[in-house]
Chain A
């Protein structure tokens, strides 16, 4: 169940997590030839027909539209069809800042997407909150949903997004069917609705750069 029931203060146990996802594979052995070939075929099909679900909230969505339009032409990568329903989508492309009010909606969309599914966090705001280090904006959508590829930029150029998509395609190509944990849904803690520990969220969203000079008053 991945990161579900972890109590707050234990942190990420890298050893166990690594052991869970590791798959025995000896390239020189002929054993498992059929499954690896099948893996290749399935992944080839998946990687080249990713249907994106655009979740565009800000200027990154404009760049996303430019990427999908004729000059950059997302269709070249098998993303011919934009799925405006999460039920028929493979990749959630979160383009733009996500305010706290939108956080449960973004999570609901992610939960509605069927497996296999991936997520691209496009731009600085989706990845880290960007310049919006304030009371209203989620400091990185990875605090709400798992993210596969982060695309930096403010906003990223279409080339940047296409590079991110290519990275995601490589990631899909390297997936193994033998790895049973790949398709695990991350179930948030029913009490706090969070799936990573609160202390980690606080640590990740610590102010940096100029904003460390601003103070927080306690309630």
Chain B
């Protein structure tokens, strides 16, 4: 594994590559077209058919890739010394109002050494299983981002270690709120929503032991240690 301090020095010193561009504020950026991110061309050379389309919008490059090879492509973008996309800014999804248009899963990658931004998209046609590769193995920060995407859109991320709801409570039964077929006020009546929300019992998951007491176990009074080790819950 690479020495971490080395990476920090690169960031502090500026561009990783001596020939890299100096940081400037972009001017006169066209809506469509314009220079595309050099990584797009590199991706085409490396992966060929898996790169379906490249789109430049307001100076930001979007690469549409084949869903099956997404994990491989992100791994290459992260590891290859000529790319070094070391920061995953976001994982999200888009569903369009036009019913025939496919649902898109979006990854925002950033290369700190090269000062590049790249957006990857995978299209999931309507009717197909909502699945995508998890990038958790590459970026550990994808954990919660993918959970959020699963919570709001119902996309199953293959290989995610702990894919469960994050914004809504875990017993939430109404579906996936950001999907177009989800009514704004939810599927159930207000009283039913409130009833289910009040029944959620958050302490079953976030207990005092997990949150704090476990860390300070040795410093607790003796009687409390005995009670805790006997299995007593301190949630209330």
Contact = CB atoms under 8 A, between A and B. Distances in A.
A216 B183 contact: yes
Contacts of B187: 217-219
A192 B199 CA distance: 8
Nearest to A198: B191
A186 interface: no
Contacts of B189: 198, 202
* Residues of B contacting A: mostly: loop
A135 interface: yes
Interface residues of A, number: 31
A194 B195 contact: yes
A107 interface: yes
B236 A199 contact: no
A134 B191 contact: no
Contact of A101 (B186, B188, B197): B197
Contacts of A214: 183-185
A108 B197 CA distance: 13
A20 B185 CA distance: 37
Interface of B: 167-169, 174, 177, 182-195, 197-202, 236
22 contacts: A101-B202, A104-B197, A104-B198, A104-B202, A105-B202, A133-B184, A134-B185, A135-B182, A135-B185, A135-B186, A136-B177, A143-B194, A193-B195, A193-B198, A198-B191, A201-B191, A201-B194, A214-B183, A214-B184, A216-B183, A217-B187, A219-B174
Given A100-B193, A104-B198, A104-B200, 20 more contacts: A101-B197, A104-B199, A104-B201, A107-B198, A135-B184, A143-B190, A144-B198, A188-B198, A193-B198, A194-B194, A194-B195, A194-B198, A199-B191, A201-B191, A202-B189, A214-B183, A216-B183, A216-B185, A217-B183, A218-B187
